Amino acid sequence: MTIYNKTAWKDHIVDSTGNVVQQGTPISAGNLLKIEEGLANATAFKADELGAANAHSGILNMGPTDSYYTAGLQTVKNPTIFKDYTNSEFLLSTFSALIAGVRILVEGPADGNYKSTKLALPVPPTEGTRDDLVFLEVWRDQTTQEWKSRIRVVDGADFSVYADSGMTATNVLIDPPYVNTKVTPQGGNDQPVVYATGFRSQFLSEAQRSANKSGVGGVGVCLGDVGLYIAGRGDDTSKGLLKTYDGYVYAIPLFKVNRRNSGNYSATNPNGARNYASMTIATGGGASGVRLGDTITLTVNSTSGVNVGDNLVYTAITSMRARLLSINSSTSITILITGQNSYSSTDSWNPGNIIGLVSERPDSLYANIIDERDITDLRHKVYLTAPSYNQLLIDGTDQILRGASQVERKKAMRKTYVGVRKTPLDANHVFYSSLDGTTVAEVGGDLGIASPKFTPHATGVGLLSPGISRSFSVNQNQASVEAWFEVAQLQDPTGFGTGNTILQINTNLFPAQNLWYGVIMLGKVASSGPNSFYMLFGDTASTTITLDLSGKLAHLRLTADLITMKTRLYLNGKQVREFTINSAINTLVGWQVANNLRSWRLSDIAVSNIDRGATFATLPADFIANYADIMPALNFQRRINSDAQTSQKSYAVAKVQNQTQERGVIVTKGAGVNTAIWEAGDKIKVKGLAGEIIGGVIDSDTALAKVTISGSGINPTFGLDDLSKLSVNDTVTIRNADMSAVFASTATITAIDTANKTITVNSSGGNWNVPVGYLLFETTASTSTPAVRAIIAGTSTTVPGTWANLGTNEAEITLGTLPGGLDVEDIIVEYSLNMPAGQGGLYQVYAKTLGGEANGKKLIPGSVAVTDDFMGKVAGSTTVNPNKAYSATNGPAAIPAAPGTEFTQGEYDAIKTLDASLKAVTTSVNGQQAAILMSFDLIREFENKYAIIPGSYTVAEKVAWLKANVSKANFTWWGYGSGPAGNKASLVGFNVSGGNVWNYPTDQTSATVTKTQKVSTITSDLDANGFLHFLAYAGASDGVTASTLYMDHVSIEFEVVTKSGYDTLVPENPRRDTGLAGVLYVRRQTREVESLFPGNDEDNGTVVIGDYVPTQEMATATISGVRDVLLGMQGFVTTAGTNKAAGADIDYATAIARLLGPGDPLAYQVDPQSLIGTTAYDASGASGVMRYWYPDFPYGTGPQGVLYSDGIPTWAAKAAEFLAGITRLVEYNGELLLMIDMRKRSSLSNNGLGGSNTARRYYRLPGRPLIKS
């Protein structure tokens, strides 16, 4: 409001002669109106709002939080009413705002229990993405002087420029582009005013008003009110333009709404979605008696918005699904029933019910339906009296660490590619090295790297910290060099040399001057964060590119063109820099790879003699568009990537020496000389392709534990998190988190204390200093050796031998006396592949797993891995369809060994689909029962769908694998039976373990085709040949009335075993005959991706899609000018989303970016005694006093000064790393923030929390509260 200037009222004085002694103040309309204005202001300024003068503008009361509203906001979630919200609408309940010291009540028409405003946003964009701004506008009526308000929406507010509000930039300048010219005031006008210069038609922030108060008249109002945006200058021109009483319009931002476009969702349009459309079934236009697979025609009110091929849902019962086959007219459709209500044998598509379009997006969203995740709440909570700071700190800390406070976007969908294809080679490549487990380049020869180390990487396996340097001549006018990198830690650049260079294109024209044109360097550039690019152009010119690569796989490409004289840098498929080359240069010479980066990984290096520009053959479009991440690939050997320490069973197949071996297997001769056969003394070496440790068969004895209590000496005693698999006399080694050996020697366990969870060992090789956090690995040869066998004459036969170097990256067996018959047969080695922590398969910590892909096939959450029937069956053949069916007349006496007569082709054709074409078996012989026996080949079911049953080379091994990994079969039979006693059909399954008998029957007495189901347990019902058997039969004939069995269709589905704590992804179309697919297990908390079936060497098309909580950390990690409000009195430790934090102590980006987990209650714990001692907490002075104790045992020894007790709780035992921290409330620019100081466990040592290696991050609190000092 305007500041009132008091009128100095004077009496009108006249002397006795009538002369005016003092001219009085006129009683005029103008002066009286000032009085009225003061009264109006005073009325608005109620007694309970006397504190408003010292409060920022913002929201006093956001509205209800209940089952419908969250802080007064409601988005539609019920699909039966989606049709009422297709104008991109959501509800906002009545709320109270404080604007320029005045309380404003904002309410809409009555809506149920609340007065709500139904906000409609503009139509979605047709492509790309867009952010819409919702804000509250307030003004004083020009005539009545009343305060009025409206909620407005502006489409396409550029929040990358106008980050905090969508209205203005943080810059204090008040010309475009620092003010958003799309957001103009409306005030008393019918429409928003058109932007024009002069500062009357634009909103200004408090910083802009304050900075320009003396330069532009009238803008210096409501100074200090950081929550308020004001348009106008308070002059007559502003009053006329804005049609407001005081010449101002006031505004506060409410929401930012991220919009999907209305194009179809795909990898090339990751932000796309269909507009929701629906149809209502017309009176008399429905259908009843509907079954799965039926085709029906419906009459509807409209077919607008749907297309042939669309998937539809009956919104009243969402399990009822259909596919649109044809649009017959504007009111008639024909659909194929693809989903049925599981609670009835037939369904009804009834008039009056709604058929909705099914979203093709994994997150099931639409373009024109606003979801809660789309909305970022920009509202600021303000207070008339001081808030409870302590409660704000406690609640804010708890919600932040639990991932329950999403001040920024609440959720987002993200795709993770678990590996991508290698670069396809062509004639323009002058060098190429995949580095996929080898340092011999595919084009360019041996790189000559001694003892290379490998690690999982984007295109398979990558080289770990190689320190290589290579140059290749490119005698062309164009050149390109590209590679995949992962940088964990960088050194400071030491100058413009090649020591830190990762890619370069340089000139050889003036070699003495060492001119580098187009050199990419990585280094800790002081002003640009820990992992920035450093680029050189010329011997002195340089530029810094601030791009965070920490903990992420990045694809870099550098190109140069001497025709256009341009050199360009591409990061992850996007051009990020372009520079002009010196015109004197006419020759380009090669590339070089850094050798001074401390910890980095490299793969898929390619050098070309052309400028490959912005075309990328292997980068997915949604990855380039930043809707997806690429993580290290799986391969045929390795099926798990995880942040936790993991072990998996793996298999290697060794062939005689003169044959080609699979990767990771080396066969050498011993004393024998015949390379075409096996001989005693031959050696088989098995190697972990990506640096994994080779161990024995994973059994109850194999141990991998983490050190929780340190110990030292020749006979050290130290604590472990798990003793259950250890025994006295076991041989053990100590390893780093990356599985590299800490000590060259092994040790023998001499004592185990189960009460205190400690062991004592004898380290005959010298003193062992075993710190907390190291890993113990058990290598006892007698109990943990790989299993070695050969298939001799169809029988799995053990091959004896002696193992060496178990517990290392390369283990080798020397064959002993060979079993009889072993000559040229393959030898199978079954071993454990042990992977270090911190190799997660997902970049984000998903809050929910939505789906994925394997071998190009869509995966969905579930457990059904294979379905089958008799489609495609050829009588007398198992080539196309392996299943069989037989007719019999002896009822339950028909058994798999004597099943009856196999169906003819015509009989198989009758049961292929559910189509009322029946196969009938009948007999009138007294006592006989019509029967049909059906046998399903489970081995073929899985091999047809997944190519291989892992590690299984005989039928018996395949059966054992199926019993371990397939939980049950759901058998569905459609038919009915009749006999002398009436209608009856019985269904039984064959129980193998119970004595090869039919189990208890399931009966039905229908006179028409009816669905009957039977569940079979694989462990008890699968026979030795891998078959499941079922029998349907009718009642016995009495010699007069026939026994007849009718069958229309039969199907079976197989469910894989689900794992506790994992999400299971199975094919959306699990039919056996629809091509190879995959099954994935995803453990979100440890970012783990496990494939049930091994992939190939390069790319098995593994993709995981999930919802994640975007980081709530403020974009600016270092903020100047914060004011302490309240220091927390409790610290915390958290494993939420943290992975192995490699690199410098200060480099927390990887771990902290994932601090917010998916709400796991074990994500963090608070230490009520974490602040001990008398020294005040000082993050910069290395006087931190944060500690925590082992929470699984009572802490009885009392405080330990400033020491950090490094016991690892069991809930964090499998985490590669965790964070410890302390929180405080601070005020910055009027807003309360949560400031967190934290350090990794591995960097705490005995110094506690504090010092130069303490990371500091800021988070907004729920409600984004504003306070005044």
- In a domain, residue 397? The reply is no
Q: Is the Cα dihedral 833, 838, 840, 845 positive or negative?
A: positive
The pLDDT, as a whole number, for residue 1033 is: 98
Average pLDDT over residues 797-817: 93
Q: Which residue has the higher pLDDT, 1137 or 242?
A: 242
The pLDDT, as a whole number, for residue 652 is: 94
Q: Is the Cα dihedral 816, 819, 823, 828 positive or negative?
A: negative
Please name the amino acid found at residue 882. P
Of 127-136, 197-206, 969-978, the one with minimum mean pLDDT is 197-206
pLDDT surpassing 60 at residue 1141: no
Residue 464, helix vs strand vs coil: strand
Predicted confidence band of residue 977 (pLDDT cuts 50, 70, 90): very high
Of 346-355, 594-603, 858-867, 1199-1208, the one with minimum mean pLDDT is 1199-1208
Predicted confidence band of residue 946 (pLDDT cuts 50, 70, 90): very high
pLDDT surpassing 90 at residue 589: no
Under DSSP, the state recorded for 1042 is P
User: Helical H runs in 403-487?
Assistant: none
CA distance 835 to 640: 9
Q: How many domains does the chain have?
A: 7
Under DSSP, the state recorded for 53 is G
Q: Which residue has the tokens 């039966």?
A: 80
Six token digits for residue 51: 């504190």
The pLDDT, as a whole number, for residue 1174 is: 32
* Structure-derived torsion over alpha carbons of residues 884, 886, 890, 891, reported in degrees to the nearest 10: 60
CA distance 1260 to 1119: 13
Q: Among candidates 493, 643, 547, 490, which has minimal Cα distance to 1146?
A: 490
The pLDDT, as a whole number, for residue 783 is: 55
pLDDT surpassing 90 at residue 944: yes
The pLDDT, as a whole number, for residue 472 is: 57
Question: What residues contact 578, with CB distance under 8 A and at least 6 apart?
Answer: 566, 567, 568, 569
Domain boundary (609, 626, 652) is at 609
Predicted confidence band of residue 941 (pLDDT cuts 50, 70, 90): very high
pLDDT surpassing 50 at residue 625: yes
Do residues 41 and 4 lie in contact, with contact meaning Cβ atoms separated by under 8 Å? yes
Q: Among candidates 1148, 1162, 1108, 546, which has minimal Cα distance to 843?
A: 1108
Q: Among candidates 1242, 1261, 1238, 1258, which has minimal Cα distance to 1250?
A: 1238
Chain segment 1014-1051, per-residue pLDDT in tens: 999 999 999 999 999 999 999 999 999 999 999 999 99
Determine the distance from the C-alpha atom of residue 384 to the mean position of all C-alpha atoms in its chain, rounded to a whole number.
41
Same-domain check for residues 1038 and 992: yes
Residue ranges making up the domain that contains 1244: 1123-1260
- In a domain, residue 375? The reply is no
- In a domain, residue 405? The reply is no
Predicted confidence band of residue 1065 (pLDDT cuts 50, 70, 90): very high
- In a domain, residue 369? The reply is no
* DSSP string across 845-861: -EEEEEEEEETTEEEEE
- The H or E element that residue 32 is part of is helix 29-44
- In a domain, residue 392? The reply is no
Q: Among candidates 790, 53, 773, 75, which has minimal Cα distance to 369?
A: 75
CATH of the domain at 296: 2.40.33.10
Same-domain check for residues 1050 and 1075: no
Q: Among candidates 1080, 1018, 1081, 1024, which has minimal Cα distance to 1053?
A: 1018
Q: Which residue has the higher pLDDT, 1214 or 670?
A: 670
The pLDDT, as a whole number, for residue 39 is: 62
Chain segment 986-1019, per-residue pLDDT in tens: 999 999 998 999 999 999 999 999 889 999 999 9
Q: Which residue has the higher pLDDT, 646 or 1190?
A: 646
Question: What residues contact 785, with CB distance under 8 A and at least 6 apart?
Answer: 696, 697, 803, 806
* DSSP string across 696-738: S--STT--EEEEEE-EEESS-EEEES--TT--TT-EEEEE-TT
Please name the amino acid found at residue 1258. Y
Same-domain check for residues 1008 and 960: yes
Same-domain check for residues 633 and 666: no
Same-domain check for residues 1150 and 1167: yes
Q: Among candidates 1239, 1255, 1254, 1216, which has minimal Cα distance to 1137?
A: 1216
The pLDDT, as a whole number, for residue 1148 is: 40
The pLDDT, as a whole number, for residue 767 is: 85
Average pLDDT over residues 305-313: 96
Of 159-163, 816-820, 973-977, the one with minimum mean pLDDT is 159-163
Q: Which residue has the tokens 């049609």?
A: 243
Cα distances (angstroms) measured from residue 859 to each of 362, 864, 1070? 10, 11, 9
Average pLDDT over residues 1237-1260: 64
Out of 488-502, 507-521, 588-602, 1033-1047, give the one with best mean pLDDT.
1033-1047
Do residues 333 and 298 lie in contact, with contact meaning Cβ atoms separated by under 8 Å? yes
Average pLDDT over residues 202-230: 90
CA distance 28 to 217: 28
The pLDDT, as a whole number, for residue 1023 is: 97
Do residues 914 and 1047 lie in contact, with contact meaning Cβ atoms separated by under 8 Å? no
Same-domain check for residues 878 and 929: yes
Chain segment 673-729, per-residue pLDDT in tens: 999 999 999 999 999 999 898 887 655 456 677 787 888 888 999 988 778 778 888
- In a domain, residue 813? The reply is yes
First-residue to last-residue Cα distance in the chain: 21
- In a domain, residue 272? The reply is no
Q: What is the pTM of this model?
A: 0.84
Q: Which residue has the tokens 């993050």?
A: 1179
Mean of per-residue pLDDT scores for the chain: 81
Chain segment 431-481, per-residue pLDDT in tens: 898 999 998 999 988 888 888 888 899 999 998 765 555 555 566 678 788
Do residues 374 and 258 lie in contact, with contact meaning Cβ atoms separated by under 8 Å? yes
Determine the distance from the C-alpha atom of residue 26 to the mean position of all C-alpha atoms in its chain, rounded to a whole number.
74
Same-domain check for residues 97 and 164: yes
Average pLDDT over residues 926-938: 97
The pLDDT, as a whole number, for residue 1222 is: 75
pLDDT surpassing 90 at residue 933: yes
The pLDDT, as a whole number, for residue 2 is: 46
Same-domain check for residues 786 and 803: yes
Do residues 1091 and 958 lie in contact, with contact meaning Cβ atoms separated by under 8 Å? no
pLDDT surpassing 50 at residue 790: yes
The pLDDT, as a whole number, for residue 585 is: 44
Same-domain check for residues 1164 and 1234: yes
Do residues 692 and 806 lie in contact, with contact meaning Cβ atoms separated by under 8 Å? no
The pLDDT, as a whole number, for residue 1211 is: 42
Question: What residues contact 474, with CB distance under 8 A and at least 6 apart?
Answer: 430, 588, 589, 590, 607, 609
CA distance 1235 to 1251: 16
pLDDT surpassing 70 at residue 520: no
The pLDDT, as a whole number, for residue 535 is: 47
CA distance 763 to 753: 18
CATH of the domain at 981: 2.60.120
Helices 938-946 and 955-965 sit at what angle, rounded to 10 degrees? Answer: 80
Predicted confidence band of residue 1219 (pLDDT cuts 50, 70, 90): low
Same-domain check for residues 215 and 347: no
Q: In the chain, what percentage of residues exceed pLDDT 90?
A: 50
Average pLDDT over residues 904-932: 95
The pLDDT, as a whole number, for residue 522 is: 45
pLDDT surpassing 50 at residue 863: yes
Q: Are strands 412-418 and 628-631 parallel, antiparallel or unpaired?
A: parallel
What are the b/e assignments for 512-544, b being 16+ CB within 10 Å?
A: eeebbbbbbbbbbbeebbbbbbbbbbbeeeeeb
Please name the amino acid found at residue 801. G
The pLDDT, as a whole number, for residue 471 is: 58
Question: What residues contact 673, with CB distance under 8 A and at least 6 apart?
Answer: none
Of 28-32, 265-269, 1143-1147, the one with minimum mean pLDDT is 1143-1147
Predicted confidence band of residue 645 (pLDDT cuts 50, 70, 90): confident
Question: What residues contact 388, with CB distance under 8 A and at least 6 apart?
Answer: none
The pLDDT, as a whole number, for residue 1147 is: 40
Domain boundary (1057, 1073, 1089) is at 1057
- In a domain, residue 364? The reply is no
Q: In the chain, what percentage of residues exceed pLDDT 70?
A: 78
Same-domain check for residues 1028 and 1088: no
Q: Which residue has the higher pLDDT, 934 or 837?
A: 934
Q: Which residue has the higher pLDDT, 410 or 504?
A: 410
Same-domain check for residues 1067 and 1006: no
Q: Left, alpha or beta for 444 (phi > 0: left; psi -120 to 50: alpha)?
A: left
The pLDDT, as a whole number, for residue 539 is: 40
pLDDT surpassing 70 at residue 610: yes
Average pLDDT over residues 757-784: 78
CA distance 185 to 242: 7
Six token digits for residue 1161: 């209650």
The pLDDT, as a whole number, for residue 739 is: 63
Indicate the burial class of 110 (C-beta count within 10 angstroms; 0-12, 13-18, 19 or more). exposed
